[in-house]
Amino acid sequence: MLFCPGCGARIQEDLYPAQYQQIGAGESGQKIHWEDEAGCFYHPDKQATVPCDLCGRFLCALCDIDLNGRHYCPACLAIGKQKGKLQELQHRYTLYDNIALALALLPILVPLFIFFSVLTAPIAIFTAIKYWKTPLSIVPRTKIRYIFAIIFSGLQILGWVWLVLYWATKG
């Protein structure tokens, strides 16, 4: 048991197993000894150990970035982070399922917006179909919001079609 030297309060210290593990030293890459050995794209005098999983460039141990068992070069990693193509590096997701459902439900829940359903219903269906395969978020989510958005929007569109046909036959 430890006590704070300043106030005398009892201190509990928890050490995790990582505290006792040695941090591995980084590799600098081996020099090329033979002419027929492949060299690193970024360091031609270093021996290539793996190809990049995105672009195929040969990488030395120094340039190899191992991310969840896949190997990336620095350029692909930077581009993947910038363009959001590497899901492992994404820290922000747009919840298109919530957007589609909001577009479908807003005219139903707020009567003032009922006439905007002519626009919001097709946009909700388009959003649901376009972003169906987009990862929803880091935590598991179902596609039920997309399904409800398509159903409610489809009903609104059918309502408008019925209304137009009704006016056309009465007029």
Indicate whether 81 pLDDT > 80. Answer: no
In whole angstroms, what is the distance from residue 151 CA to residue 125 CA?
A: 9
Indicate whether 128 pLDDT > 80. Answer: yes
pLDDT given for residue 22 in this prediction: 74
Please tell me which of 30-39, 49-58, 85-94 the model is most confident about, judged by mean pLDDT: 49-58
Helix, strand, coil fractions of the chain, as percent rounded to 5: 45, 10, 45
pLDDT given for residue 163 in this prediction: 94
Structure tokens at 154: 């489809």
Nearest to 120 by CA among 81, 39, 112: 112
Place of tokens 């987009």: 134
Per the CB < 8 A criterion, the answer to whether 64 and 71 are in contact is: yes
Segment among 74-78, 113-117, 134-138 with least mean pLDDT = 134-138
DSSP structure class, residue 30: P
Mean pLDDT of all residues in 139-152: 92
Q: How confident is the model at residue 153 (pLDDT cuts 50, 70, 90)?
A: very high
